[in-house]
Amino acid sequence: MPIATPEQYAEMLDTAKAKGFAFPAFNVSSSQTLNAVLQGLTESGSDGIIQVTTGGADYFAGHTVKARATGALAFAKFAHEVAKSYPVTVALHTDHCPKNALDDFVYPLIAASEEEVKAGRNPIFQSHMWDGSAVPLEENLEIAKEILPKLKNINAILEVEIGVVGGEEDGVKHEGSNEALYTTLNDAVAAVEALGLGEQGRYMAALTFGNVHGVYKPGNVKLRPALLKEIQDGLAAKYGTGDKPLDLVFHGGSGSTDDEIAEAVANGVVKMNIDTDTQYAFTRSIAGYMFSNYDGVLKVDGEVGNKKQYDPRAWGKVAESAMAVRVGESTRQLGSAGNSLTA
């Protein structure tokens, strides 16, 4: 299927919220990892979101240059073309853009989509994240207020982070008090006062409830998904809205239990970012392949090796399929499996 239209993306998110599931959003950094996501989504009958960070976009552009907007556009063009061959609907998203990357990442991409929309076509990306978690909340929301109407004009969605996700992702590192890892109701009220509840443009909110990016062992991080319900209920009471007024995003979920994920989704999470686990699945399969085919991938003791084994397509297919399996696990864990718009 072609990449989701803005209307289809809105329908995806609305359906997830109404039916009580969430879409996995997979970070990719190459054509191989992108294809692995498409394979995994297809095999599980799930729609999904494919996203790229500043670092991923830099890598798409070529690791010896710094041209992240170029890399992101190259990723999007590739995705728009190859997605046509798969019977699922996917949306494209840019992930974790800090303040110092707005001018060479999100803003040029918005400008490129503005040109597409002027020509009567759809935006290149269906949503963009502004990551203001490293700046004071007031500044975070002021910048979000500047971006939101730009995205509304191209029929795209904004993602904001209200709170701090611990750990590090693509050089964006947060170290602070444990209290900073938990969004408060007052923080969420400030966000709604600044951004509205959809009338100024649609947005998703990554509220934090103890989340940490990267790898951690169970018990090292104290997730409090019940906090999301407290905030949703508080906003509903204050603004007289229906149940779960915010569309929520779950960041830093590696190592979370099934119960923690299920509770977060029940409290309004419609998008959950997946990165660490799929990275490991991809690389672990390559390591296994190389150990199992040692004499074929290396020219040991003057031998010639086995071209069929060291051909990058040979181990690349193994890696893509291994990552696709982990993609499928995410769709089942979040409940999106079998819920494709095309089903």
**Contact criterion met (CB below 8 Å) for 113 and 162:** no
* Cα separation, 299 vs 301, whole angstroms: 7
Is 89 assigned to a binding site?
no
Is 35 assigned to a binding site?
no
Is 254 assigned to a binding site?
yes
**Exposed / middle / buried, residue 275 (Cβ in 10 Å: 0-12, 13-18, 19+):** buried
Is 275 assigned to a binding site?
yes
* Cα separation, 32 vs 313, whole angstroms: 10
Is 153 assigned to a binding site?
no
47 assigned to active site: no
Is 213 assigned to a binding site?
yes
* Cα separation, 229 vs 249, whole angstroms: 13
Is 251 assigned to a binding site?
yes
Tokens of 307: 């071209």
* Cα separation, 7 vs 86, whole angstroms: 19
Is 252 assigned to a binding site?
yes
How many residues are recorded in the chain?
Answer: 343
Is 174 assigned to a binding site?
no
**Contact criterion met (CB below 8 Å) for 140 and 160:** yes
Active-site position among 47, 58, 95, 170? 95
The H or E element that residue 15 is part of is: helix 6-19
Is 103 assigned to a binding site?
no
**Contact criterion met (CB below 8 Å) for 331 and 48:** yes
* Cα separation, 292 vs 275, whole angstroms: 26
Any idea what DSSP says for residue 182? B
Q: Which residues are annotated as a binding site for dihydroxyacetone phosphate?
A: 214, 252-254, 273-276
Positions annotated as catalytic residues are 95
Q: Which residues are annotated as a binding site for Zn(2+)?
A: 96, 131, 161, 213, 251
Q: Which residues are annotated as a binding site?
A: 96, 131, 161, 213-214, 251-254, 273-276
